[in-house]
Amino acid sequence: MTEIQFRSDFGVELVDSMGGDHSIVRAARVSSGSEAGDEKRDKGLINFLARDRHGSPFEATVFQFKIDVPLFVAREWFRHRIGSFNEVSGRYKILEPVFYMPAEERPMKQIGKPGAYTFEPGTITQARHSRVMHRQVAEMAWMAYEDQLALGVAREVARNVLPVSIFTSFYWTVNGRSLLNFLSLRHVTDDTTVPTFPLWEIDQAAGRVEELAKQVAPEAFAAFNKHGRVTP
């Protein structure tokens, strides 16, 4: 059996981008026909756009990421319809034996009602048991996958046994406005004012996305945070 690998982190790479703060400003200025300003006025304009939710200029900047996350995280990601995805296919490709293993800091215990859970660390027993289950199922499922492949069963049938903890890879092309919408819902910070309760794992990965994206359009992110992380 191929040796399988467990990981608790997520892969987030900024592959490419188009524009930045300057293209947001440029797109906004066409509406009013105002002249290009200096740095300070541009910053003020971006701030105004975020505050008053003039969202369309934020679509003039585009990002492309390569993302490596477990299937259960990818499923949430793909719910965001304004953007483009290209993903590893379990029909075309023999998958890689890389599975998710919750890290120690992953809260294990949920309290409260659907839509308003809070989470606590969980007991040592809970964490240990859950991690053992993650490992055992991944190992058995991978063996079942490889056995079927060895017998000549089609990839697209054999993969049915794999758990949603298996990692997948995809390219994500997304404009700035749709990205801010994603981050408003999937990454919570002290500035968050929008009611949202993201899955712990997507929150971690989305945080990495934000770190990279804000280097491309720092003023846009500053304004987004200043105004409560509401989608413009």
Q: How far is the CB of 215 from its own copies (least distance, A)?
A: 16
Spot the catalytic one: 131, 186, 208, 229: 186
Q: Which of 75, 214, 218, 222 binds its own copies (CB under 8 A)?
A: 75
Supply φ then ψ for residue 70, to 5 degrees: -65, 160
Q: Which of 2, 5, 13, 78 binds its own copies (CB under 8 A)?
A: 78
Q: How far is the CB of 205 from its own copies (least distance, A)?
A: 15
Please, which of residues 79-138 interact with its own copies by CB under 8 A?
79, 81-82, 84-94, 100, 102, 106-110, 114-115, 117, 119, 122-123, 125-126, 129-130, 133-134, 136-138
Looking only at the bridges linking them, the beta strands covering 109-111 and 118-120 are antiparallel
Decide: residue 93, CB within 10 A, 0-12 exposed, 13-18 middle, 19+ buried. exposed
33: left (phi over 0), alpha (psi -120 to 50) or beta: left
Q: CB under 8 A: which stretch of 6-14, 20-28, 35-43, 209-217 binds its own copies?
A: 20-28
Q: How far is the CB of 221 from its own copies (least distance, A)?
A: 19
Q: How far is the CB of 8 from its own copies (least distance, A)?
A: 12
Contacts of 155 (CB under 8 A, 6+ apart): 90, 91, 92, 93, 94, 149
Question: What separation in angstroms does the CA of 118 have from each of 101, 121, 192?
Answer: 21, 10, 16
Please, which of residues 137-176 interact with its own copies by CB under 8 A?
137-138, 140-141, 144, 147-148, 151-165, 169-171, 173, 175
Report which DSSP code applies to 192: -
186 given a catalytic annotation: yes
**Would you say 229 and 183 are in contact if contact means Cβ atoms under 8 Å apart?**
yes
**Would you say 68 and 171 are in contact if contact means Cβ atoms under 8 Å apart?**
no
Q: Is 226 in the site for its own copies (CB under 8 A)?
A: no
Please, which of residues 31-70 interact with its own copies by CB under 8 A?
31-34, 48, 51-54, 56-57, 59-60, 62, 64, 66, 70
Which CB, 173 or 225, lies closer to its own copies? 173
The residues annotated with a catalytic role in the active site are 186
